[in-house]
């Protein structure tokens, strides 16, 4: 029972890691809390759902297409809207992304309605058995993709010129400008990558959870918690934050009655913010 | 000057006589607007003057509403005293959370206050014996006919709005108010100049909580039914932020103008395109942040005619990366 919960927690935590990486990237580099991140995940899930329903593409295969679409959406939003207020106060960016979130929510509601949707794959029922532990193959596949994306993102930030330019912009804006980094474009790329990761998380969610437009708000609450747990300290922090949240959610159900879980989660959240605002790992930047 | 006096006099006269001329819809709409003037002006104290994004302010609204309801229904205290207790409980919450959170800067404070509001909602939800939990609470309404009760709440909310706006006006030219504006401009410098920054911020948030809590109490009695998802809804705080953004942060009259504009638009949208309500609100938020981040009041103050006004919008667009 306990072992099974731990396995479930790790499988879930990898998706949370993907959500957290995109969210804390934007926060760390541009100092924007993107409340619309939950909305991006939902759009990703619906895009996968639409492609599966209309032309029968498996969500694992449609994920790159979804990521490309979301990258373009994110890039354009940053270029045409957020770049104009990025030097403004916390309220402006926070309120603006909230406006974006409720707009996305409303658009999804008009197009797809409030019904719960999910993707039922031919191999949904298949699972692997290790002793007493059951691992559904879809969840294992999603886990593998999430870890792969995390790795690719890590390599991108460390090895490519663009990745290094993003880190440089985050660390020292004036310095980055001096050596010829086009900050406006870097910001747009950063936001695009974050949106693409959100879209990928949406594709991952679509075959394993049922979703509707309302799911955006609980997801954004989770993104807050992951970012605060992991700090803004790069790929590792977000992955750890995601895994911790996944484990707490699944293992916690054994020990704590469901009615107090929410209270406990928010209390831990507040405690970490007050005591260790730099997160559990606490390394700054990428 | 003479013209202005006459204008103010006319506005006062219309506001005071409105429930006598008309009833029902318009009176309720105006009561709504007054309520948003109260809560947005209250948020303006901490967010507009001190510059701290208190995204958890709906917790004071909910605490005020629930304290009032519990005192009236479970203890039997008359409404006015219950409402004051509601304001008091909200202040206590602000002092407790403020001492913890107001050392955090920027986004961290915004997130911590949001988390605290969710935690408080969860507590209220779980104290089933006291609060009725998810079933909510019913408060016995005034034993008069609806038209008279509408007028009573209209005048009560008007009074609260006038008191709040007057208080913020006084605050804006008091020692504390200047201290808060100094904190907003540069917290380190303010601290060096001898302002007790954390203490000033806690006082500011407590004042914000007081008026929000009182408004919550009045809301509970007015609607005579409350439940946790309604009174602790994050959309309250979003509306408040949009109102002070549209009107102008850190100005006395900004929240008043913002509340009138937003509620009037909301009313039109609600009655005509109910399923697009949130989307249109989202577009309004994006456009107002993009084109007039300092609000209508500041734009109007810096421009003599419509040409200057449009030029101001253009300049705001050009300050980018």
Least confident piece of the model among B147-151, B177-181, B301-305: B301-305
Q: What is the percent of chain A where pLDDT is above 70? A: 96
pTM of the predicted model, to two decimals?
A: 0.86
pLDDT band, residue B169 (cuts 50/70/90): very high
- Please state, in angstroms and rounded to a whole number, the distance separating the CA atoms of residues A57 and A11: 23
Query: Is some CB atom of chain B closer than 8 A to the CB atom of A185?
Result: no
Inter-chain touch A91–B241, beta carbons under 8 Å: yes
CA–centroid distance for B8 within its chain: 23
Extract the tokens encoding A108: 């999804």
Q: State how beta strands B137-138 and B225-226 pair.
A: antiparallel
H helix or E strand, kind and range, residue B308: helix B306-318
> Average pLDDT, stretch A132-154?
92
Give ∠ CA B155-B161-B166 in degrees, rounded to 5: 125
SS3 A9: helix
Model confidence pLDDT, tens digit, residues A30-49? 888 899 999 999 999 999 99
What is the rounded average pLDDT for all residues in chain A?
88
Q: What is the mean pLDDT of chain B?
A: 88
Tell me the chain B residues in contact with residue A105 when contact means C-beta distances shorter than 8 Å: 278
Q: Cβ–Cβ of A224/B114 closer than 8 Å?
A: yes
pLDDT band at B34 (very low <50, low <70, confident <90, very high): very high
Question: pLDDT confidence of A248, banded at 50, 70, 90?
Answer: confident
Least confident among A185-189, A213-217, B40-44: A213-217
pLDDT at B318: 56
Question: Which of the listed ranges A127-136, A158-167, A267-276, B3-12 does the model predict with the highest average pLDDT?
Answer: A158-167
Instruction: Give me the mean pLDDT over the B70-93 stretch.
Output: 94
pLDDT per position as a tens digit, A73-105: 999 999 988 988 888 777 788 889 989 999 999
Per residue in A210-247, is it b (16+ CB within 10 Å) or e — as a string?
Answer: ebbbebbbebbbbbbbbbbbbbbbbbbbbbbbbbbbbb
ipTM: 0.83
Distance CA B12, CA A223 (A): 48
Q: Do the chains contact at A106 and B276, CB–CB below 8 Å?
A: yes
Contact partners, residue A12, CB within 8 Å, separation at least 6: A246, A249, A250
User: From the CA atom positions of chain B, what is the Rg in Å?
Assistant: 20
Exposed / middle / buried, residue B157 (Cβ in 10 Å: 0-12, 13-18, 19+):
buried
Give the count of Cβ contacts less than 8 A between chain A and B.
134
First to last CA, chain A: 37
Return the residue in A84, A88, A97, A176 with the most chain B beta carbons within 10 A, the one to mutate for interface testing.
Answer: A84
Q: Which tokens go with B15?
A: 């506001």
Query: Token pair 């008009």 is at which residue?
Result: A110
**Residues of chain A positioned with their CB less than 8 A from the CB of B245:** 91-92, 95
Q: Which residue has the higher pLDDT, B299 or B8?
A: B8
Q: Is A101 on the interface with B (CB under 8 A)?
A: yes
Q: Is the pLDDT of residue B202 over 60?
A: yes
Question: Which tens digit of pLDDT belongs to each residue from B273-296?
Answer: 888 888 988 998 888 888 877 777
Task: Select from B111, B122, B290 the Cβ nearest to the Cβ of A84.
Answer: B290
Which residue in B has a C-alpha nearest to residue A232's C-alpha? B108
Interface contact A173, partner B, CB < 8 A = no
Element (H, E) at A127: strand A127-130
Rounded distance between C-alpha atoms, residue B171 and residue B175, angstroms: 8
- What per-residue confidence (pLDDT) applies to B91? 97
Let me know the angle formed at the C-alpha of A100 by B244 and A115, rounded to the nearest 5 degrees.
Answer: 120
pLDDT at residue B123, rounded to an integer: 92
Q: Is the pLDDT of residue B133 over 60?
A: yes
Residue A286 pLDDT class (50, 70, 90 cuts)? very low
What is the pLDDT at residue A36? Answer: 94
Indicate the angle between helix axes A161-171 and A137-159, nearest 10 degrees. Answer: 70
């Amino acid at each position: 029972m306990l072992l099974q919960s731990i396995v479930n927690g790790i499988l879930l935590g990898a998706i949370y890691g993907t959500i957290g990486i995109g969210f804390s990237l934007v926060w760390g580099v541009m100092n924007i809390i993107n409340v619309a991140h939950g909305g991006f995940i939902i759009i990703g899930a619906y895009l996968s759902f639409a492609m599966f329903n209309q032309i029968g593409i498996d969500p694992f295969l449609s994920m790159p297409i979804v990521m490309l679409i979301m990258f373009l959406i994110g890039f354009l939003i940053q270029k045409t809207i957020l770049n104009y207020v990025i030097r403004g106060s916390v309220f402006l960016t926070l309120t603006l992304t909230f406006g974006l979130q409720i707009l996305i929510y409303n658009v999804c509601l008009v197009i797809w309605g409030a019904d719960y949707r999910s993707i039922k794959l031919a191999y949904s029922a298949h699972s692997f058995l290790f002793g007493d532990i059951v691992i559904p193959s879809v969840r294992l596949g999603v886990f593998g993709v999430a870890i792969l994306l995390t790795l690719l993102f890590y390599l991108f930030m460390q090895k490519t010129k663009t990745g290094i330019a993003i880190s440089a912009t985050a660390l020292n804006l004036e310095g980055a400008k001096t050596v010829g980094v086009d900050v406006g474009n870097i910001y747009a790329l950063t936001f695009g990558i974050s949106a693409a990761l959100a879209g990928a998380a949406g594709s991952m969610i679509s075959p394993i959870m049922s979703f509707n437009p309302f799911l955006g708000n609980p997801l954004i609450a989770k993104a807050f918690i992951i970012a605060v747990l992991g700090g803004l300290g790069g790929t590792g922090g977000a992955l750890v934050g995601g895994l911790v949240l996944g484990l707490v959610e699944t293992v916690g159900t054994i020990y704590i009655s469901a009615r107090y879980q929410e209270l406990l989660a928010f209390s831990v959240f507040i405690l970490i913010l007050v005591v260790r605002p730099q997160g559990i790992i606490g390394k700054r930047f990428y | 000057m003479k013209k202005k006096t006459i204008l103010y006099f006319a506005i006062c006269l219309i506001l005071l006589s409105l429930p006598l001329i008309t009833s029902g819809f318009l009176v309720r709409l105006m009561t709504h607007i007054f309520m948003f003037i109260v809560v947005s002006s209250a948020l303006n104290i901490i967010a507009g003057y001190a510059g701290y994004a208190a995204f958890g302010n709906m917790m004071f609204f909910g605490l005020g509403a629930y304290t009032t309801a519990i005192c009236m229904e479970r203890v039997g205290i008359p409404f006015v005293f219950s409402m004051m207790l509601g304001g008091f409980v909200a202040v206590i919450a602000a002092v407790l959370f403020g001492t913890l959170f107001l050392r955090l800067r920027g986004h961290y404070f915004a997130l911590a206050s949001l988390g605290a509001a969710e935690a408080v909602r969860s507590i209220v939800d779980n104290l089933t014996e006291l609060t009725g939990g998810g079933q909510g609470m019913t408060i016995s309404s005034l034993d008069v006919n609806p038209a008279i009760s509408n007028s009573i709440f209209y005048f009560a909310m008007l009074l609260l709005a006038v008191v709040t706006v007057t208080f913020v006006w006084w605050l804006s030219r008091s020692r504390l108010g200047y201290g808060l504006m100094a904190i907003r401009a540069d917290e380190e410098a303010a601290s060096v100049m001898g302002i007790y920054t954390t203490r000033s911020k806690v006082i500011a948030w407590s004042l914000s909580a007081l008026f929000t809590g009182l408004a919550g109490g009045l809301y509970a009695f007015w609607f005579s039914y409350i439940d946790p998802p309604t009174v602790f809804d994050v959309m309250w705080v979003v509306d408040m932020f949009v109102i002070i953004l549209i009107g102008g942060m850190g100005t006395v009259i900004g929240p008043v103008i913002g509340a009138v504009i937003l509620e009037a638009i909301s009313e039109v949208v609600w009655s005509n395109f109910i399923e697009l309500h949130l989307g249109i609100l989202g577009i309004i938020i994006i456009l107002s942040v993009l084109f007039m981040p300092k609000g209508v009041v500041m734009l109007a103050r810096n421009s003599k005619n419509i040409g200057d006004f449009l030029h101001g919008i253009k300049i705001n667009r050009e300050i980018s990366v």
